[in-house]
Structure 1
Amino acid sequence: MEITDGAIEVALRWYFEERGRSDWGLSEDQWRTITRQMRDVLEAAAPRPEGLLFYRGLVEQTDLRDHPAWNLLVAEFLLLLVKACVDSGLPLLTALVYGKASNEPGPGFYDAARHFGLLSPSRSDDEFWFSQIAEVRVRWRQGTSLGLRRP
């Protein structure tokens, strides 16, 4: 696995400093657990050609599934994973998640990419998304073939 627990801890600290505490009704341990669960689901999907997931499909594999506002809260967890990817020098694993109705990632994906300086105004959103999917596939296939695992 590529995204370490340490990278998730750094992302959580950044998120709570940047966004402050939330009224979502989740403890820090729940934030940590759900973020790790999403990482694990996405990293397992990454090397597979059919590894794209709808938001709901991702959420159903985590403890977030029972939260009444999961559809709003999922973007916050994906932002945490974007931060962890950026800090780890990885392509955006969150590129594998998209909306069923729109057939593309939500605006938060592109907003996060712009926030972290990954998506320039001269590049189209679609081009960026497709390139991230390709980079994720290559990176996670390499890690799988090399037998790399998170410590």
Structure 2
Amino acid sequence: MIVSGVAAEKQDILTGDPDEWESMLAINTLAPMRLTRAFAPAMAKRGRGAIVTVGSLAGTFASAGSAPYASSKWGVRGWVLSTYEELRKHGINTMVIEPGFVATDMVVHNERLVPDKMIKPEDVAEAALLPLHLGPNATPLELTLKCVLRPYKGAA
């Protein structure tokens, strides 16, 4: 099972829309929680399974201008790390992928970003397969994907 998310359009704390943030939290944080609850019992019954959730570097490293989104992804990270501790005794691996900028519709409209320098969605999908390629005694809990080159126009 793989879960991703969305970003709110107005992230500014002083002028942003809390209703939009609530919707984003429901998709980014509550959806993975509900999906884990929906699928984990069957995995536990089989004695194996893998749940991969797409977080974000924003869920690990704070930055100005993205507090609502970052909060939702911090919640995802906390959820995955906690569910790992609870579900591993049932043979279920959980992993959070924390990519930097991924060339998706969510960010390519930003004129400051250069899509060719961003992480490709296929790379995130490939990373999600990692738990399936490892033996039963190895689990990747957190996987950070960073852009090799800075994805900003005019950045030093």
Structure number with higher strand proportion: 2
- Normalized per residue, the structure richer in helix is 1
Q: Which has the larger radius of gyration?
A: 2
Fold similarity call, TM over 0.5: no
TM-score, normalization by structure 2:
0.27
Q: Between the two structures, name the one with larger relative contact order (CA 8 Å, sep ≥ 6).
A: 1
